[in-house]
Amino acid sequence: MLKNVWLFIFVNIFSVSALGFDSVKLSQYIDALNDNKKAMFSLAILKDGEPIYQKSVGFVDIASRQKANKDTQYHIGSITKVFTSTMIFQLIDEGKLSLDSKLAVYYPNVKNADKITISMLLNHRSGIFNFTRSDDYTQYMTEPKTRVEMVRLIEGLDSDFEPGSQGSYSNSAYVLLGFIIEDITKDSYANQLQRRIADKLDLERTSFAGPINVKDNQANSYTLRSQQWEPASETDMSIPFSAGAIISTPTEVGVFLTHLFKGKLLSAASLTKIKEINQGFGRGLFKFPFYQKTAYGHSGGIDGFVSQTGYFDADNTVFTLTANGLDYKLNDISIGVLSIYYGLPFDIPDFTQKPISLPESELAKYQGVFASQDIPLKITIKVENGKLMAQATGQGPFVLTPFSNSEFRFAPAGIAMLFGLDDGSVDYRRFQLKQGGGNYNFTKDK
């Protein structure tokens, strides 16, 4: 199933400065993830279009013990949408299409086709129901479908809302965009991908995917069950098509993004339009923060593959993670990678330490509103649905996971809360918050 994975970080407290790049520490972090069966993946970081760090861990194929390397191809899932959007904008630059063109010109039988524009398809504001959310999706996703069958499937979908009134992620819209590319060019999506992007950028390991071929260094994907990697399903690529069927390497995804943002593939006007964000959705891109920095990119997931890429315009730097086995949050890995790259304090997690469970009656003792003299921030802690939740001033709530009766963590933002201990007993009136190398003392308001 195609999935959209978001990068989240607790951004409002701490400032960031690039202090250097410790490649040894980054490799140690990646090795720790692999050694503890948290992830099998490849990582590439490019600066000014050139790789400055590449590392692969895990296997292309576990049965044959074939190891992954920098040239291993992974299914990149919804990162495909960035390629599709780029080709749509190329057609706009060529005068063959416009953002205001109506879907009805191509597929009039789709609900509300006369109201849906190309722009709405690109930024998930069409209202077309996302077919991968259908109850029967998993029943057919591994079987091939013809173009006619996919069009009929989408034509039979309901509309979630009036086109243009709101946003909702839709793989259906991007499948239609791929068909529109074929309609205009009188050529296959795969050929257009090759001609318009891969050939122009000398991408030799980026293409429309077929059945996985491990002999060609194409990774199988896996899920972890009972501490063993087991083969995941293999979706037939006729299903995700232009919404999620590209196979590539992290380095080549990085090369593509670099050239895209440096104006090598689109006009300046189209590059501006592709980056515009409306209620969280860009036209094939998402915008996410990393402390004071901002990146444009996308994430993807299909079967056991999970991927993420982001381009930092201010640094002309791009990072790409492509995983074929994951038992750890991708956001956590990305935050660790970027923290080390930008020289931020980051402790490699002790993967041998496990979270614990505390009864709701015990969690209730930690509740309260806490303030700090170190930073102008208050944090409210309360129990909701059997979980301990924290919410800082002006921020959304997040879950605190207990690792002992005095230590709680929110891993996606690298937060640890350590409650005071007096003679071995927990002092529920105070805690120390640790994040990004900073230590901040909080006490309960009276």
Q: Using CA of residue 123, residue 126, residue 131, residue 133, what is the dihedral sign?
A: positive
pLDDT exceeds 90 at position 352: no
Q: What does the alpha-carbon distance between residue 159 and residue 258 come to, in Å, rounded to a whole number?
A: 36
Look over the chain and give the mean of its residue pLDDT values, rounded to a whole number.
92
pLDDT exceeds 50 at position 11: no
CATH number of 23-341: 3.40.710.10
The pLDDT > 70 percentage for the chain reads 95
pLDDT exceeds 80 at position 61: yes
pLDDT top residue among 249 and 279: 249
Q: What does the alpha-carbon distance between residue 179 and residue 147 come to, in Å, rounded to a whole number?
A: 8
Between helix 23-35 and helix 330-341 the angle, nearest 10°, is: 160
Model confidence at 4, in pLDDT bands (50, 70, 90)?
very low
pLDDT exceeds 50 at position 3: no
The per-residue pLDDT for range 181-198, each reduced to its tens digit, is 999 999 999 999 999 999
Model confidence at 20, in pLDDT bands (50, 70, 90)?
low
pLDDT at 218: 98
pLDDT top residue among 352 and 266: 266
Residue at 387: amino acid letter: K
What 8-state DSSP symbol labels residue 110? S
pLDDT exceeds 90 at position 111: yes
Residue 102: count of CB within 10 angstroms of its CB:
16
Pairing type for strands 438-444 and 425-435 reads antiparallel
Q: Which fold has domain 360-444?
A: Lipocalin (2.40.128)
Q: Using CA of residue 76, residue 80, residue 82, residue 86, what is the dihedral sign?
A: positive
The encoded tokens of residue 60 equal 């292309």
- How is the chain split into domains, by residue range? 23-341, 360-444
The encoded tokens of residue 150 equal 């996919």
Q: Which of 11-15, 349-353, 367-371 has the lowest mean pLDDT?
A: 11-15
The pLDDT > 90 percentage for the chain reads 83
Count of CA atoms in the C-beta half-sphere (13 A) of 358: 20
Q: What does the alpha-carbon distance between residue 366 and residue 6 come to, in Å, rounded to a whole number?
A: 29
